[in-house]
Amino acid sequence: MDNKKDKKQIPLRLRADLWNDLSAWAEDDFRSLNGQIEYLLSECVKRRKGQHKKKEDEEGTDAQ
C-alpha cells in the first residue's frame, strides 16, 4: 500500500468522544485525523504480527 492508488476508502463511524480524542492526539502528533487513524492501525497490525511470530517461535522451541 505504498502507492496512493493502492489506498482504499472506507466509511468509518466513530463515537463523538473517540473522534475528539483522536483529533486531539493527531494534532499533538502533527498528523491529520485520517493519518493518525492509519498510523494507529498500522502499529496495531505490526504489534499483532510480532506477537504472532513470537508465539510461533515459542511453540517451535517447545516442540524441540
Share of the chain above pLDDT 70, in %: 88
The model's pTM: 0.71
Question: Would you say the C-alpha torsion 42, 44, 47, 52 has a positive or negative sign?
Answer: negative
In whole angstroms, what is the distance from residue 13 CA to residue 61 CA? 43
Average pLDDT along the chain: 88
Q: Which positions ≥6 away from 25 have C-beta within 8 Å?
A: 36
pLDDT digits (tens, 9 = 90+) for 27-44: 999 999 999 999 999 999
In whole angstroms, what is the distance from residue 9 CA to residue 26 CA? 19
Domain locations in the chain as residue ranges: 14-63
In whole angstroms, what is the distance from residue 64 CA to residue 16 CA? 51
